[in-house]
Amino acid sequence: MAVVKANAYGHGAVETSRTLIQHGVTRLAVFSTEEGVALRQSGITVPIVILGPVFQEQFGHLFAHQLTPVVSDPSTLTTLAQAAALRKVSHSIHLKIETGMGRLGLAQDELVALIHSRKFPPSLRLEGLMTHLADADGSNSDTTEEQLRRFRDALKVVQEGGFQVPLIHVSNSCGAVRFPSAHFSLVRPGIMLYGYHTLPGTIETPDLRPVLSLKTCVAQLRTIQPGKTVSYNRTFTARRPTRIAVLPIGYAGGFSRRLSNRGYVLIHGQRAPIAGVVCMDMVMVDVTTIPGVAVGDDVMLIGQQDNERITAGDIAEWTGTISYEVLCAISPQIPRLYVSS
């Protein structure tokens, strides 16, 4: 089950989903009902699981578009069951168990009460049982092993209650690589599909290659004299005659303002440092040491040029975050070009 939430981690949900399906993925997961509806409206027919919370006003969309919600609390189970019964449909759901993430999920006692009451709603079909790992990329595996123990207990309660649940799933990318015992019947990779991971260096990782490049071009060039400054609040001052290139991307496009005066872009295969604060739709870089830069030249913000490379992981380090946030911050308004090989 490929996770394509957050616009497929910034890669474009529809095209990414189509490509994943072509390559054998049989099920997709998104966060919201709206994301699921958008995939359906673009013609995607494989099962789609909604990982996030669902609300009453969305139930109609779940039924109409055959979207499979993850139910994480008893009251949603009740209201969803009533809505399904009213429409005389039997709707598939997955139940989520809280095992240590401290986020969505039925508590163990809520699960026991539901199963032992023998009142599981007949209008709902229990297709899946799941939980989510909080520390699959942590420095040790204790938290995950404790979560797996709790999940196996929950699974036992459900099975002994007479349910045959076809889809049992626990693992995100790191969990799938690191804990083969947690594969169950389905895994839920997200970040690794896009070529990144957050596993500690001690864990052997698969051969991952970043899928996405983020490119722009040089919009204007100017040489400024020592003492002159660049961008809002004059945080960059030239110490020598300095060649500044203006690039038409900024924080509105997903190029974080935390990159102000830190981090680099690639021009002519060389690193150009960011000069001054990142603006909403523009950023300036220092190209003094890169000969022959011209308006229109390609600029790589994430990706490779000649032998130099900048990854979303590098930007994450410069800005104090993780590759996930760098990727999904890339605004949907930035045009995506898909290259098939």
Ligand X SMILES: *Cc1c(COP(=O)(O)O)cnc(C)c1O
Interface residues with ligand X (CB under 6 A)?
A: 3, 5, 51, 132, 172-173, 188-191
State CA 246 to chain mean position distance. 30
Q: Which residue lies nearer to ligand X by CB, 189 or 195?
A: 189
Q: Which residue lies nearer to ligand X by CB, 5 or 243?
A: 5
List Cα–Cα distances, 2 to 13, 25, 62, 327, in angstroms.
11, 7, 19, 16
Q: To the nearest whole angstrom, how small is the minimum distance from the Cβ of residue 174 to ligand X?
A: 6
Q: To the nearest whole angstrom, how small is the minimum distance from the Cβ of residue 199 to ligand X?
A: 10
Sequence-distant (≥ 6) Cβ neighbours of residue 128 within 8 angstroms = 49, 68, 70, 92, 93, 94, 95, 165, 166, 167, 168, 169, 186
Q: Which residue lies nearer to ligand X by CB, 3 or 95?
A: 3
In angstroms, rounded to a whole number, what is the distance separating the alpha carbons of residues 109 and 120?
A: 15
Q: Which of 183, 190, 184 is nearest to 208 (CA)?
A: 190
List Cα–Cα distances, 138 to 196, 200, 201, 325, 327, in angstroms.
16, 7, 11, 18, 21
* Catalytic status, residue 156: no
* Catalytic status, residue 232: yes
Q: Which residue lies nearer to ligand X by CB, 200 or 241?
A: 200
- Residue least distant from ligand X (Cβ): 190
- Catalytic residue, from 119, 156, 232, 338: name it: 232
Q: To the nearest whole angstrom, how small is the minimum distance from the Cβ of residue 2 to ligand X?
A: 9
In angstroms, rounded to a whole number, what is the distance separating the alpha carbons of residues 335 and 289?
A: 30
Q: To the nearest whole angstrom, how small is the minimum distance from the Cβ of residue 99 to ligand X?
A: 12
Give the residue numbers annotated as catalytic, written as ranges. Answer: 5, 232
